[in-house]
Amino acid sequence: MAMEMRLPVARKPLSESLGRESKKHLVVPGDTITTDTGFMRGHGTYMGEEKLIASVAGSVERVNKLICVKALKTRYNGEVGDIVVGRITEVQQKRWKVETNSRLDSVLLLSSMNLPGGELRRRSAEDELAMRGFLQEGDLISAEVQAVFSDGAVSLHTRSLKYGKLGQGVLVQVSPSLVKRQKTHFHDLPCGASVILGNNGFIWVYPTPEHKEEDAGGFIANLEPVSLADREVISRLRNCIVSLVTQRMMLYDTSILYCYEASLPHQIKDILKPEIMEEIVMETRQRLLEQEG
């Protein structure tokens, strides 16, 4: 059996010209953001001795007169309209508890989901008895945030046919701050796989279906074996996402696709080697900068 032993290597720091992250105003708890009293206090800040002070470690963001600090590593804070990927943890009366990487479990009501087949009607007692047949513990779902309660808990819905139970694929968990907000978080990549970029930091990578199962009402029951070629594409995408996260790059469809193309000369198992990871992420940064002009 072949065995590879690796020792620590001295890594060269990335050039500051290869990213705009160096231009951000980074603070740690206790740092003074400003002494101007004309600004409003936002999330991650507090007033002390007529100074605006950071209470979390992150980047300072300013909107007109409002200053807040966006934490670099935090639990997911839900916002209405967010796309999330979650895992069912408990079946309760007329609702499911869902793990969405937030401080509290999210809630999916029976009345907030599509029935199998997309049937539109009032939920009956028979539907309540069959809840575990719809979704059971351990199932993964894609959903949209419908409401955020005062304690931070999130209410979900899956009324659109593009949401619902997920089939075969790979789940990658990253920091929510690394997922870029876009108009759509469902992407069919030209490499033959698709990704769902959850705002909560849960990313679902799966083979692109040949036809949309709209008749399933959001329930995917395809359990056929995934071909070797599709599994290799999914594995490569998964390692590319891990590489981007390790180098603290924002995740969206273009960055993932560029990283995938940069990794093609290497074997899938070699992508996670530190020097190769740095090489392909460096190439991805350069292509993104060239695209931005």
Residue 74 DSSP class: -
Residue 67 pLDDT > 80? yes
| Residue 80 one-letter amino acid | V
Q: What percent of the chain has pLDDT over 90?
A: 54
Domains of the chain: 23-71 (2.40.50.100)
Measured between its terminal Cα atoms, the distance across the chain in Å is 49
Rounded Cα distance, 15 and 253, in Å: 24
User: % helix / strand / coil in the chain, to the nearest 5?
Assistant: 25, 30, 45
pLDDT attached to residue 4:
74
Residue 11 pLDDT > 80? no
pLDDT attached to residue 200:
94
Condensed to tens digits (0 to 9), the pLDDT of residues 165-180 reads 998 999 999 999 899 9
Q: Checking DSSP bridges between strand 154-158 and strand 106-113, what pairing results, if any?
A: parallel
The CA-based dihedral angle spanning residues 257, 258, 259, 262, taken in that order and rounded to the nearest 10 degrees: 120
Residue 266 DSSP class: S
pLDDT attached to residue 281:
94
Condensed to tens digits (0 to 9), the pLDDT of residues 107-143 reads 999 888 877 666 666 777 877 788 888 889 999 999 9
Residue 185 pLDDT > 90? yes
Tell me the angle at which helices 274-292 and 228-246 cross, rounded to the nearest 10 degrees.
80
Q: Which long-range contacts (CB under 8 A, 24 or more apart) does 282-289 make?
A: 282/14, 282/18, 283/258, 284/244, 284/249, 284/255, 284/258, 284/259, 285/14, 285/18, 285/19, 285/249, 286/18, 287/258, 287/262, 288/254, 288/255, 288/258, 289/18
- Furthest-apart CA pair in the chain: how many Å? 67
